[in-house]
Amino acid sequence: MVLMKDIVLCLFAAAGFDKAAQGLTGAAQRLAAESGGQVHVILLGSGAQAFASEFAPFVQTVLLADQAELDDYQPEICLDVLFQVCSTLEPRAILFSSDTYSQEIVPRLAHRLGGSAVGDGMALAMKGDALRITRQVYGGKAQAVIDMKRSPAVAWVRGNSFAPATAGALGEIKSIAATPIPTVRCRIVERKREDTGEVRLEDARVIVGGGRGLGGPEPFKSELRPLADLLGAQLAATRAACDAGWVPATWQVGQTGKHVAPDLYLAIGLSGASQHLAGISEAKNIVAINIDPEASIFKYCQFGMVGDFRKVVPLLRQKLEALSK
């Protein structure tokens, strides 16, 4: 029986051992070292067995929850399985990634376990017996430091914000004997997913983002898409562009969208509203192109150009094409 020192990771196997999972595992390793505990990972879904060996060198135990009932995400079933397993482990902290499923489960699991819940963590540390989490507030204009004194501390965090784990002794791989509840109050009956074959925005190294300044959906296709292809980048957008129906909602980056941490974020035709800046605050380099010299984005970018994107982007593409020859 664990004495409130261990750290548990709860991850959906469908994502695999991606960049976010690697960062989350690294964060758990460092927390366990501070608390004197161990790291255990619970993998949910039918692909758990396939990825178990990738997690094993970084944790003490890999627990596989790959029952048929977990092949597709159903909130009530996943919640019940996690409750059963975490009740047995009695960890100090339970960490999730920043995907939509995790954000739904975190507060509900914390309530069932009698613990505390926080979302969107950017930094983690142990402060005595409390898990200390740092997160952005006020649209990224300030940071809140929260001590989660009620155990277990259940949180979803930005996995890309943390350094990856370091390999150690090979952890033990076990199957979970938890039995999902036979009946549920809420069930997902249909999913509609656009499979583009592209890298997830959260994992992209280069992102080209567009805003309301583009004036409509056409520039995303005729100007930004060719540029993104040359850079090997993914496309993103502000909430205004997504709400206007110019691009899919899955492209939205910002406080109420996705939080990204690319090596390069190319901001085109977006003013730099605080809500959008909250989603790109961890980009290593921000390059901005905007016709308004007073645009807020110029206060936060490393490189900026005042000009009409219709003139600048074609010239940029020409230079990139010349370099690629």
Q: Which CATH class is domain 201-324?
A: alpha beta
The dihedrals phi and psi of 261, each to the nearest 5 degrees, come to -140, 60
% pLDDT > 70, the chain: 95
Torsion of CA 95, 97, 98, 99, to 10 degrees: -130
Share the mean pLDDT of the chain.
89
Distance, in Å, from the CA atom of 170 to the CA atom of 60, rounded to the nearest integer, reads 7
- Structure-token pair, residue 173: 């791989």
**pTM of the model as a whole:** 0.78
Report the pLDDT value the prediction gives residue 324, as an integer from 0 to 100: 79
Which ranges in the chain are annotated with CATH 3.40.50.620?
Answer: 7-175
Asked if CATH classification 3.40.50.620 holds for the domain at 7-175, the reply, yes or no, is: yes
In this predicted structure, the answer to whether residue 29 has a pLDDT above a threshold of 80 is: yes
Question: For 250-253, which contacts have Cβ atoms below 8 Å and span 24 or more sequence positions?
Answer: 250/194, 250/201, 251/201, 253/201, 253/207, 253/209, 253/279, 253/280
Distance, in Å, from the CA atom of 5 to the CA atom of 92, rounded to the nearest integer, reads 5
- pLDDT digits 0-9 by tens, 206-230: 999 999 999 999 999 999 999 999 9
Distance, in Å, from the CA atom of 38 to the CA atom of 31, rounded to the nearest integer, reads 9
Evaluated on CA atoms 243, 248, 253, 259, the torsion sign reads positive
Distance, in Å, from the CA atom of 173 to the CA atom of 109, rounded to the nearest integer, reads 24
Report the pLDDT value the prediction gives residue 46, as an integer from 0 to 100: 80
Report the pLDDT value the prediction gives residue 75, as an integer from 0 to 100: 86
Which ranges in the chain are annotated with CATH 3.40.50.1220?
Answer: 201-324
% pLDDT > 90, the chain: 60
Torsion of CA 165, 166, 168, 172, to 10 degrees: 20
- pLDDT digits 0-9 by tens, 250-297: 899 988 888 888 999 999 999 999 889 988 988 999 999 999 999 999
CB burial string 222-234: b at 16+ within 10 A, e below: ebbeebbebbebb
Bond preceding residue 293 cis, omega within 30 of 0: no
